[in-house]
Amino acid sequence: MDEYRTTAGPDPTGDLAFIPLGGTGEIGMNLNVYRCDGALLAIDCGIGFGGAEHPETEIMCPDPAWLADRRDKLTGLVITHAHEDHVGAVAHLWPMLRCPIYASPFASAVLRRKLAEAGHLGDVKIVTVPLCGRFVVGPFDLEFLHVSHSIPEAQALAIRTRHGVLVHTGDWKLDPDPLIGGPTDEAAFARLGDEGVLAMICDSTNAMVEGHSGSEADVRRNLAAIIRGLSGRVAVACFATNLARVESVALAGQAAGRQVALFGRSLRNAVTAARDCGYLREIPEFLAEEDAGYLPDDNLLVICTGSQGEPRSALSRIAADTHSQIALGEGDTVIFSSRMIPGNERGILRMQDQLARRGCRVMTADDHMVHVSGHPARDELKRLYALVRPRFAVPVHGEWRHLQEHAALMREVQVTPILVEDGDVVRFSPGKPDVVEGVPTGRLAVDEGRLLPLSGSVLAARKRMLGNGVVIASLAVDPTGRVLGTPQISAPGLLEAEEGSGPLASELIRAIAALPSALRREDDALREAVRAVLRKAIGRRLRKRPLVEVHLLRV
């Protein structure tokens, strides 16, 4: 657990509260909980990236322990849309929650594939809610509201309770021409404003960005013009579930006389789910990976995963020249049609440098109009507040600086902000809304099917090894503790092989011989003494504090 706040707070029975367990004060890992008269409702369940801050893991998710302990009160999990930071942890965490899931048709299709891969599909009740549908879960009267975002079928959520109406925006923007799906339903938000909204819980990602986020239609026009003028092989990296972008790239490729191939499992899965739901009907079947390498360079366009520098993604392997089906080099172009998620900068820049070293031209949103955000800039936020007119608002989905800027904007439009972070409990009713208690929160690392506490011993050891290395010592001793033969000491990444069998081994033998005889007869004491000797020796030589493992054999 990252932190525990143990203030007892009020009796939960008879109140209305909001409890973020992930995604508030950070990017990704969205997991939000609403409490009404003792019943709980979860909204979204996503992953985040380890990045430079957590090099010991690639993927993280919120720790749901507090919620899992109360799953008898958990009425359901509602998914606002199918981006990984909102749905990617469901297959990992559902066994702890075991509640019905409510989602739109496209999000349901994506979820079914994830749950099937994890072996849970037969156990999970998925309720597919029509777009803009209204449904009741326990004491929560819920209504989906259509919003435009960089994915089909993104939904905000109106939450009606006996205490009042809340609006949970999810991810959204005001795009007049989003290409797939209609614009944000401003009339529906205005109707809620007329009904009276107690509080709005709102996306803060672009609260520091002035103006408007831009339209997906502008990106489509620019991609078509850019790709038409390129020679050689062209690869475009984007988020797998940004189907409007995938469609734009495919149309640009067709217009330029190129066949289009998909590289990356998540991209293929997203496209399959989209076709199942009636999207991408005007796009012919994509070229298979194994066929792409045989096309003339000027006739190939690749859409691939890896825009965030993910080490095992298709683009990462292409950049490292380890992909089995495709290679890029001199005269080719790679377009990053995405934004850098905070924390991923180092991995993305390293990948772009690898591509440049191979002779590729690299284009990004910094130098070409190849991406617009799916989140609202300040003018869009002001417009939504004018429609909804909430009495209070809670900024979520952002780091602390985003939340602060969003809160300042709320004050500008005469809405009272309530600043929170993961684990805070905002009670909206009864009484004046305020943070009244705290609950434990934490992060789990997704490690090849396992979930490991980020602060646990396994990842702590892994992180220590990343920075300080590991030393492994194997030695045989007789019953009195006298060393037999020469100890074998290896320290991959710290010492050359001969260093471990030379002076270091001799130093270890002398140190053991100097120990009291009683200490040498106790296995645990002898192991700890060996660890201390090796730590001191490595620290003196290399100024490192490695993890030391000792294998002791008495003969």
Q: What is the pLDDT of residues 416-446, one digit of tens each?
A: 999 999 999 999 999 999 999 999 999 998 8
User: 72: how many CB neighbours lie within 10 A of its CB?
Assistant: 6
pLDDT, tens digit, 9 for 90 and up, residues 315-344: 999 999 999 999 999 999 999 999 888 778
pLDDT-derived band at 451 (thresholds 50, 70, 90) equals: confident
* Biggest alpha carbon–alpha carbon distance for the chain: 86
pLDDT, tens digit, 9 for 90 and up, residues 366-400: 999 999 999 999 999 999 999 999 999 999 999 99
Alpha-carbon 553 to chain mean position: 45
Query: Would you state the pLDDT for residue 490?
Result: 81
Mean pLDDT of 348-356: 95
Taken in order 228, 230, 231, 235, is the CA torsion positive or negative?
A: negative
Query: Would you state the pLDDT for residue 284?
Result: 93
Whole-model pTM: value is 0.84
pLDDT, tens digit, 9 for 90 and up, residues 12-50: 568 999 999 999 999 899 999 999 999 999 999 999 887
pLDDT, tens digit, 9 for 90 and up, residues 240-267: 999 999 999 999 999 999 999 999 999 9
Q: Give domain limits for the chain.
A: 16-211+373-453, 216-258+289-363, 469-554
Residue 465 has pLDDT above 80, yes or no: no
pLDDT-derived band at 55 (thresholds 50, 70, 90) equals: low
Query: Would you state the pLDDT for residue 242?
Result: 93
Mean pLDDT of 342-370: 93
Do residues 347 and 310 make contact, with C-beta atoms less than 8 angstroms apart? yes
pLDDT, tens digit, 9 for 90 and up, residues 165-174: 999 999 999 9
pLDDT-derived band at 532 (thresholds 50, 70, 90) equals: confident
Long-range contacts of 288-292 (CB under 8 A, 24+ apart): 288/261, 289/261, 289/262, 289/263, 289/325, 289/326, 290/325, 291/261, 292/259, 292/261, 292/263, 292/325, 292/326
Mean pLDDT of 544-552: 84
Mean pLDDT of 454-482: 78
Mean pLDDT of 458-477: 77
Q: Which of 115-119, 305-309, 377-381, 446-450 has the lowest mean pLDDT?
A: 446-450
Residue 187 has pLDDT above 90, yes or no: yes
C-alpha distances out from residue 533 to 281, 476, 489, Å: 68, 16, 12
Do residues 168 and 384 make contact, with C-beta atoms less than 8 angstroms apart? no
Residue 79 has pLDDT above 70, yes or no: yes
| Residue matched to tokens 């305020």 | 434
CATH number belonging to domain 469-554: 3.10.20.580
Peptide bond into 430 cis (omega under 30): yes
pLDDT, tens digit, 9 for 90 and up, residues 218-243: 999 999 999 999 999 999 999 999 99
User: 140: how many CB neighbours lie within 10 A of its CB?
Assistant: 22
Query: Would you state the pLDDT for residue 498?
Result: 63
Residue 460 has pLDDT above 80, yes or no: no
pLDDT, tens digit, 9 for 90 and up, residues 139-161: 999 999 999 999 999 999 999 99
Residue 125 has pLDDT above 60, yes or no: yes
Do residues 426 and 16 make contact, with C-beta atoms less than 8 angstroms apart? no
Fold of 16-211+373-453: Metallo-beta-lactamase; Chain A (3.60.15)
pLDDT-derived band at 501 (thresholds 50, 70, 90) equals: low
pLDDT-derived band at 4 (thresholds 50, 70, 90) equals: very low
Mean pLDDT of 87-113: 96
Provide the residue count of the chain: 555
DSSP state of 193: H
Q: CB under 8 Å to 25, separation ≥6 — which residues?
A: 398, 399, 400, 403, 421, 422
pLDDT-derived band at 10 (thresholds 50, 70, 90) equals: very low
pLDDT-derived band at 1 (thresholds 50, 70, 90) equals: very low
CATH 3.40.50.10710: does it fit domain 216-258+289-363? yes
pLDDT-derived band at 549 (thresholds 50, 70, 90) equals: confident
Tell me the backbone φ, ψ of residue 551, rounded to 5 degrees.
Answer: -105, 115
Tokens of 83: 């981006």
Do residues 355 and 314 make contact, with C-beta atoms less than 8 angstroms apart? no
Do residues 420 and 392 make contact, with C-beta atoms less than 8 angstroms apart? no
Average pLDDT, the chain: 90
